[in-house]
Structure 1
Amino acid sequence: MRWHPGRHPHQHSMMNDTFPLLSTTNIITNNNIDHNNNKDLLGTKNSRPIRFVVLAPYGSDEQYSLDKIMPAIIAAVKSIEDETKLNKYKYLGWEHGAEIYFVDTQCSSAIGPLAAFHYYIRGKVDVFLGPVCPYVLAPVARYTSYWDIPHITSSGQVSMFDDKNSTFRILTRMNGSFSRMGQFFNQILQRFNWKTVFFLYTDHNDRSKGHSLCYFSLASVFMSMGPKAVELKRSFDEEQEFAYEDYLQDASMKSRIIIMCAKKETVRKIMIAAYQLKMIQTGEYVFINVELTTGLDAAQRPWEREDDTMENNFIAKEAYTALIRVTPKMPQTSTINSFLESVQKIARDEFDINYGREEVSTYVTAFHEAVHIYALGLNDTLSEGHHVINGTMITRKIWNRTFTGIAGNVTIDSNGDRLVDYTLFDMNPITGDFEAVMIFDSLSQQFFEVEGKKIHWPNNREGPPPDTPPCGFEGELCLAEAELRSQLVLIITAVVLSFLLLFLFVVFILVYRHYRLEAELASMTWKIRCEDIVTASSDMMYMAKIGSRMSLARTSLSSDTMPLMNGTRNICGQNSLPRNGIYRGVLVSLKPIEKQRIELTRLLLIELKNMKNLQHNHLVTFIGACIDQPHASFLVTEYCPKGSLQDILENDEIKLDWMFRYSLMHDIIKGMAYLHSSEMHVHGNLKSSNCVVDSRFVLKITDFGLHSLRQQDYTPTNRSPMLPHNVDDTHYAYWRKKLWTAPELLRLWLKSSECNDNKQIQQLHSQFMHGTQKGDVYSFAIILHEIILRQGVFYLGEENTQSPRDIIYQLANNNGNNSTEHSTSPLLLRPLLEEHMADEAVLQMVRRCWHEDPNERPDFVSLQSIIRRINKENESSNILDNLLKRMEQYATNLESLVQERTADYLEEKRKAEDLLYQLLPKSVASQLISGESVRAEAYDSVTIYFSDIVGFTNISAQSTPMQVVNLLNDLYTCFDSILENFDVYKVETIGDAYMVVSGVPVRNGERHGGEIARMSLALLNAVRSFKIRHRPDEKLMLRIGIHTGSCAAGVVGLKMPRYCLFGDTVNTASRMESTGQALRIHVSSYTKTLLDKLSEFDLVLRGEIDVKGKGKMTTYWLQGMKTNHHQHLNGSNSNVENCCCDLDCIQDIGDVSSYSEIPSQNSQSGSHYELQQLPQQSKQQPTTLSTQQDSSMNNNSSSPPTNLPTTA
C-alpha cells in the first residue's frame, strides 16, 4: 500500500503553488495515461493498485478533518490487504495493493472540484472518498455521476442529495440522510405526547458560508411540523456573541420543549442561562440536544469543564438534568477498542499524531467502513467480469446491502443511504454521567428501552412535562376555563330545566292519551245497531259484481260521499244472517259471531278501537260490529265484490299470467307487513279464502284480529279435546281449513289431545287460535303454492290420495317423534314443488317460508324486498296498474312491430326493384314500378351482339348437370362484370348463347357499333384466360357475331314480362354468329361501315358467304383495334382489365346456387311477339316477370315489322 498526502500544512501554505494539492511525492502512475485508457488496461483483472482519492479539509476542529480520518482509511486498506494475502479470492482486485491520495479541500467549493477533476483526467482514481463539506460535495458528486466513478462519503446528509435517480446516482452516504431525522423526531413527539416544540440552533450569519449542518439536520423536522414551525425557531451564529437569555425567554413563551443543535460549549452556555432563568428548577422544561456525530466519549460529562469554576460546573450539572442528548448510535464493543488501537498506532507511526478516544467519531468509522463496502462491491463486480472502475455496477452492488462493520451491522438501503440508528442519552443525577436510555431502530421505526435504564425527568417528575402550561403561555387558558366553568353552569341549568319541561310534557301527553283512550273506548265508534243494516237486493249484488260505483271509502263513511242504496228491509228478526247488507247506503260484508255470550272487557274494547283505526290499501276495512242481544251478533267489514283469491285460483276461466301472480303475492306481502307492524301483530288465520279482491282488482286481507269473537265456544269432548262439539274426525271442511296452519301450531293441538287439565287445554287452544308471525309466514307459503300451481291447497300430486286429516296429523308429527299412531312418515311433508313450476327465486322464497324451523323463515319486510327483486320489471301498486302498464307495453311493442314490419317490407321492395332493374332496363323498370304503361319503340340503328360456345354439346355430354350449370354461371358472371364498363344492355342468355345490344333502350347516336365492338374484343380477351372448374386444362372456344340495323323493342308478357327485340336485325346478328369461327368476331358489312367512321378498329375482309334467309353477304373479321386507339378497348366507363374471369376469383364470387336464371324459349324459325299492356299495380309492389313467345318473326331486315303493336 502506498499513500500520498497532499501538501502538508506544516510544510508550506496550500496556496503557494499553481495547484499545490497535486504536489505529491512518490506518485508512481504515468501522468500521460488518461482515464479511458485506464479502463482498457484493467479489464476484468486488476493489473495495478486500487487508487483512492480522499477529499476532506485538514487541521480543522471538526471530526471529519483529514488528520482524523486518514489513519482510519489506512487501517481499513491494510486490513483488506492482509486478508487478501491470506485468501486471494476474498477480495478480487487487491492483488497489487492500493494507493491513497489525501487532498486538503479546505472546504472550498473551488479547490475540491478542481482536485477531483485533476485526478480524474490523469486516471489516478478508482473511487472517491469524501468530500465532507456539502458545498464541496455537490459539484464533485455531479462529476462522479457523469464520470461513472464510485463515490462514497460520510457526509452529505442534506436532503438535496436524496435524489439518486439522475443527479447523484453514484453517491453512497455512510451516515445516512437528515430526512430520516424528521421521522425519528416524529416518533419522539408522539411517544411523549408533545405537539409544540421550539428550535434553537446555530447557523452562519455570513450567507457566503451557506447554511450550517444544524440547519440542514433540523430542516426535515421543520417540514414535519408544518407552517407553525416558522414561528417556533431561532438561529444564532456561534462565532458571534449573543444574549442566550433573550432567546430562551422567547422560547419559553412558545413551548416547554426546546430542541437545540450547537457545539458542546455553546450548549453548556445555553443550559447555564436556562438555570439562571429558573427554567430548570420548575421542572416544566425539557431540552433536547441534537449531536450530529458521536464518539467513544458519548457517555462523558459534557457539563463539566476543567478550566471552569466548581460553582459553574455545579450549575451546569443541575441544568443538564433537564437535557436529553440525541446522537447517532455508537456501540461500545471489543471491535471498537481493537479499531482504536490500530488507528492510534497508524496515527503515531505515520503522522506523528496523538490519537485519543475522543477522535473516534461516526465520521471516522464511516470512512473506515466505506473502504470495506467498496471492497465488497468491487469483489462482486469483478466476479461478474466487469471493470474495476465500472461505477454504476459497483454502486449497485453496494446499495441495498448489509454487512458487518466495526460498530455492528451496517445497512445500506436501496437509495444508497445508510440506515442510522439513534441513541437517547440522559444524565444519571447521582453519577453525573450521561447514559443510554433508549435506542431508535431506523429499520423497524421503533424505540427500544435499554434494560435497567430510564429517563430522569427534571425536578423528579414521574413523566414528561406537557409542551404547553396548564393555563397557557399567557394564562389565556385559565381565563377561558373560568368562562367555560360559568358557561357550563348555565348549560347544566338549561339542560336540567329542559329535561324537567320535557318530563312534564311527556307526563301531559301520557295523561292526555289515557283520557282520550278512555273517551274513545266509552264512545264505542265501532258499534252498529242492527236496525241500520238492511238487506241488499239481487240487482245491487249484480251491479257490485260487475264493478258498479259502489265502493267503500277509506277515510269516511259519511252519507254525503257514498252512493245511496235503498235496501228492502233491515235484517233484524231474520232467521239467518245474510252475507251482505247495506249500511248507510254502502254495500258491506257481514260476518256472524259464533259466540253465544259476549263480554265487553277492556282488552276487547281496545282491540275493537284498534280495528276501527286500522287503515291500509291491502287490508279489508273494519266498519264495526253489532253485538245487540238477543239479536244475532256480527262483524261489518268492507265488501269486495270480486270474491276471494281461492275463488279466482279455482276458476279455470280466469287466466293469470306471472305478472298477475306476482302482483297478488306482493299485495299479500304488503298487507301482512303492515298488519305485523300494527297493534294487531298477528293474523293467525291467513289463507287464500281470507284474501279478497275488490272492484279495483286490489287484493286485501280479511278475517284478522278479534280472535275472541271469531272463534266458537269451546267445549271439550272425549273424542278430541280440540274438536268443536259439532265436528268429528271425518269432517272434511274442518280439516281442510287447517291445511294453512304452521306445523308448530298444529303440535299445540296435538299436545292438548294428550292433556287432561281443562285450564291448560284452554290455554293451548288460545295460543293455537291466535297464531304467531312466523306461522303467518308459513301460511303465506301455502298460498304461494296455490298461486303457482292453481291445484288447490296443499297439492301433493295426482297419485297422492291423503285426506286433509291425515296431512294434518303427519305435519303435527313431523318433529322427529313417530310414537303417535297418526304419524305415517318421519320425513317432512310439504306440497309438491318442482323446479320447472316457477322461477328459481320464487321457489326459493316458498321453501324459506315453509321452513320447519320458524326462526329460519323470513319476515314480511324481507319478503317485500325479495318480491320487488323478482318483479322489478312489473313493479306497481296493484293489478289494475299492472293491467294499464301491460297495455301500454303491448301498444309500445305493437308500434315497434309495425316499424319492424314496415322496414322489412321496404327492404323487400328494394330487393324486388333491384331484381327488376336486372331483368329490365332501368328506364323501363321505373315506368313499370310507377304504374305507367310501357310503349314499344322502333329504333333506326342499333348493334346486336350474339355469341356461342363451340363444342358446348360435347362439354355438356362429358359433365354432370351441376358442373354445366357452374360453368355457365362462372362464364356469365365474368361477362356481366365486363358489360358494366360499356354502354350496352344484356338482352338474355339462352343456354350457351349470349345476346347484347347497344343503342337500346337509350339511344346513343352512332356510338353503338363501337361499344359492341370494344365489348366483343374485351369478352374475347377474357375468355382466353377463362378456366373451367372441373376441366381446367380445356379452353372455351367463343364464337361472336355482330350486325347493325333497325329493330323494335318493348316489354312482352304479363306474369313474367321481358324486354325483347324484334326485327330482321336480330336474325341477321344470329346468322353472323352461327356462320362465324371460334375465337373470332364475325362482322356484317353494315357494322363494318359504321366502324369505319370511327377509324379505330382493324377489320379484315372475309368475303362473300351464304347466309340462310339472306343469300350472299359480304362479311368481315374484327381483328382488334388500331395501335393508337388501343386504350379505348376498356370501354366508356371503367377499366375492363380489372374484371375477374379467373377460376379462383369466380369461385370467390359464388356458386350457381347464388344466382338464378329466368328461362326463355328460342325458335329456329324466329318468334312472333305479341306486346300487351301490363296490368296496373301498386307502386310499392314489384312486378312478377315472365316471357311469352310464339313461333313466327318478320324477315324484313330493312324496316320494323308492320304488324308490331304500338304499346306494351
Structure 2
Amino acid sequence: MFYYRICLIKLVMQSLPMLNAFNLELISTIPLNVAVGIALPYTGASLDVAQTTVNARYASSNLNLSVTLLFNRSDTTCDNSDINGPLLLTEYFNTRAYGHCAAVIVSGCGGFLMAPYLAKEWDVLLFTNGWVPPAVYNHIATPTSLGMAGSIEDSGSALLELLRFFKWFHTTILMEFSNGSSIYDQIYNAILSLLARYRKYDVLRIERVQYSTKDEQSQKIALQRASDRSRVLMILAPTVVVVRLLDKDIFRSVLYLTTFAPEGHAAGDVNTLLANRSMTLYGTKAEKGIQPLDLYPIRETYNSVSLFAALVNQSLNQDKNRTLTDVEICSGKRLKSLVVNRTFDFPSGSVFIDANGYRHIDLILMTFNNASGFHQRAARYNSLQQTYILDKNVTIEWVGPAVPLDVPACGFSGLEGRCSDQGSTSAVTAGVATVTGLAVVFLTFSIILIRRLKSHHQTLEKRPWFAVADDVEPMLDPTTGESRELFLRGETVLIENCGRWTFRGRDVWISNVKLSASTTDFTDQRIVTIFDMVHTCHQNNVNAFLGLITVPSTISVLLMEAFGDKGSLRDLLNEEPVSREFQKSFVQDLIQGLHFIHTSKLRKHGRLTSFCCIIDKHFVLKISKLGHEHLREIFGVDESQQEGPHKTWKNAMWAAPELVASKAYETDSHSDIYALGIILFETFTSLSLSETISLLSEKVPSPNFPSDLVPDSVLQWIVKCCDMEPVQRPTIDVVQEELFALLQIRKQDNLMSRTMRCLEIYASDLEDKVDERTQDLLEQRRLCDLLLEEMLPRVIVERLRANEDVTPKMFDMVTLFFSDIDGFGDFALANSPYDVIAFLNQVYSTLDVLIGKFDVYKVETINDSYVVASGLPIPNGTAHARAIAFMGLSFLKAYSESQFHGTTRLRVGIHSGPVAAGVVGIRAPRYCLFGDTMNTASRMESHGEPGRIHVSPTTADFLKTEIQLLLTPRGKITVKGKGEMETFWLESRQLTVGC
C-alpha cells in the first residue's frame, strides 16, 4: 500500500561518502502533492540547499549529512498525509535508520501530532517547520521535539496585545466556515484559551462571525453583522481573501503583522540559492516581491537542517575521546538539552528556543507610507516580553484624524448618542484602520471601513444559517433499512425529535419546533435576531447551531445542531456509573458552556436538562437546544394545551420551583442555575433517570439532603444552586470560581489533559514503587549474597551469578586445619540436646569471629569438628601455612580463655598438601575438598593431644622460617594408614593475632 519515493531523490541530495566521516541523516515526512505552503514544492529546496551548505561548512569536522524524503505520491490532502506519514516513517526508521545518527523533520501535514511520540520512543530529535498548537510540545510528553516556527499561542498573544495596546476592547473575528481544524481555527481556539486563562484580557470582548468565500452575499452579511457589535475586525484569512473583502483604497491603509524579515548579504545569497533550486527541482517560483526566506515554512525548514548539523557537531566536540556511540551522540534528549533556552544565529536572523522546545518569534507591525508607496515598519512585537515598541520615526497614517475609537461616538448603529436625531439617515460611515497579514500561511486580521446596510428586515433566505430541505439527506432506519420521511404531517406535540440526519455531508440532529399559528411567513425580525445570535455562539462547550429549515404548509421549523456521537449526558449516566475524572470533565464543560451563554447576548438557556447536554466523540460535553426557549417566549406557545406522552417542562425535575408555581413566570439565568444544580446531582450520583426522579420527588436538595452518593463539599453547592428563592442562588461566575477551586479544575484543562496528568502521577508513583521494590530486592540480594558467601567462597558465588561454569580445580599446595573438642562426648552424655547445641553455637561463634582476621576459608563443621583451609579458592603462594598456624594459635587461646569450655579442650591438627576442590550438589550446594591431604590433616588432629597443635612435617617445613613460631619435634609416631611420621608440636613464642 505504501511505498518510498526516496531512491532517486536521495541520490541527488546526498553528498558523496567521505572516508572516516560521521554520517547523519535527516528524515522528512513533508508531503509532495498536498496543495499547502509547507509541501515539498515550496520547502524541498530548503532541504537541498541547507544540506549542501552544512556539508561544506563542516567538511573539516568530517560531518556528512544526507536528507531522505518519505512521502506517498497519492496523498493529495493533509488527512491522507497525516495517516500515511507516521506509517512511512516507522517502516523506514525500523528497517534502515535504526542504530544510526538520525533526526526527523515534519510539517503541519505528514503526521506532526503522532511523530513527536515516535521520536520520543526512538530518542531522536524532531523538527516541526509549521506552527504548533498550544501545549502539544513539552519537556515531559515530547522531550525530543522542537517547534521551529513557534507556537500558535504566541501569535494569539500578539493579536491580543495589539488590541490592548491601542485600547480596542470590542472586537469581532471574521473567518471562513471550515471543518474546525484549519490553521485559522487553531488561532481562534488559542485566542479563546488566552482569554480564559489570563485576567489581563478580561477587558476584551471578542465575538466571531463566519462567511463563505464562495458566497459574496454571505461576506456582505458577515460584514454587516460584525459592524453591529464592533469597529475592530480580526480577519483570520489568506491575504487574497482580505483583498477581496476590502475596498482597494482601504487595503492600501492596511497595518499588517509579519515575522521578522531577514536582511543582509547572507540572507540575499541564500534567497538566490533557494529560488534557483526550487525552480530546478520542482518548477516552483515565488510570488513577485516575496523572497523565499520571507515565508516561514521555507525559512524554518532551512534552519532545522542547519541546527541539526550544528548540534551534532557540538555533541561530537563534547565527546572528544569518542566514548559514546553514534546513536548516543545523536540522542534526541542529548541534542535537545544543547538547544533549549539558547539563541542561534541563522541567515534569516536570531532564533531563541525555550525550555519546551518552542521557538519565540518577534513580529513586525507594518504600515503603508502614502508618500513612498511602500510599507514601512511601525513597531516591533517582543514575543518574550509580550510588548509592542513603536518606531518613533514612523507615523501610522490612520484612515481618519486619529487612532480609531473602540466604540464610535454615534455607537455601532451610527444612530446613538448625539446622532440619535438622524433616524432617517440611510448609512453612517466610520473611519477606521485595517490590520492584516502577508502570505497564505500568515495570520491576517483587520479593522475595516464598514457601511451600515439599510435593510433591517431581510428574509430568512438571506441568512447564512438558512437551509432548504434539499440540503438534508435521510439516513437509513437501522431497524427497517429504509429512508425516513423528513416532514411528519399532523404532528401535534411541541417538540418532536426528528433524530439524526446528514446535512451537507455532516451528521446533524434535527428538532421539529412548532410555532404559533400567527407565524407563517417567517419574516419576523425576532427570528432573524435570535438565530443570528445563536449562530454566532461559538464556544467549545456550546453545541453548534448549523441551520434552520422551514416546513412547507405548516407552522413548524426544523432546527439543526451538531450531532453528539455519544448521546446525551443522561444517556451516558443511564448506561453505567462514570469515573470521577469523567465527572469532573463533564462538570467543567457544563459550567463553562453555561458561563458562555449567560455572558452572551442570549443571557440564558431556559430549558437546561441533562438531555440537552450532548457528548461528542471526544467526550466533550456541549449544551444544545440553545434558542429554543427564546422562540417559545416570542410566540407565546401555551404548553398546557399541547398533548403528548411526556410531561411538560414545568412538571420536569429540572424546572425551578418558581416556574412550576406560576405560568406567567419566565425562565431566566436563575432557573438555569437551579437546573445546573440538578444536573450536578445527576452527574455525581450516576443514578438512572428513574432512580433520580424517585429520589428528587421525595425531597428537594436542601442542607439535610441525603449525601451518601455526593461529596459533602459538592452537595453544599448543589443545595445553594437549588435554593427555593431565585435571588439566593449563586451566579454562574461564583459557581465556576468556587466549584473549580473545590474540584481542583483548571480552566485550560480537559478530559485528555486531566487523564494524562493522572497517568503521569500514576507513572511517577509507579516509579517510586519500582524504586522501593528495587531497593528491597537489592537488600534481599545482599542478604542472599551474605548467606551464599557463608556457604560458598565469594569468587565461586560471583561465577555462579554470572552463569559461568564452576568446574573442579586442583590446588598444588594448601594447608588444612582440623580441630576437635576433647571431652565433648562426656559433655553430650551429661547434658540435654538443647545444652549441647547451645554449647556448640558458643564455640563456633567464637571461632567464626576470629576466622575473619586471617586469609583462610571455613570449609565446614561436622558435629564438634571444625575444618578450615588456606590457599584456596584463591591461591596465596606460601602464606597458607603461616595463616593457618597463627589462626590455630588464636583458636587455642580464645577457647582456653572462654567461660564455656569447662573441662573440654581443643585438639588441633595441621597438614599441607595438594587437594581437589569443587561445588557439589544443586540444592544446598557445598564447596568440598577431596584428596589424601584431607585424610592426613584429620590424622594429625586425631593423633594430637588436647590443648596442643599437631603439625605434619610438610607444614613444619613451611613454618621453620617464622621466628614468632616454635616447632618442637615430637619424634616419630605411627599414624593410621600412613605408617611412621616425624611430627611437631606448634607453639607461639609471642602470640600475635592477625596475619
TM-score of the superposition, structure 2-length normalised? 0.49
Higher RCO (C-alpha 8 Å, min separation 6): 2
Higher-strand-fraction structure: 2
Bigger Cα Rg: 1
Q: If the length of structure 1 is used for normalisation, what is the TM-score?
A: 0.41
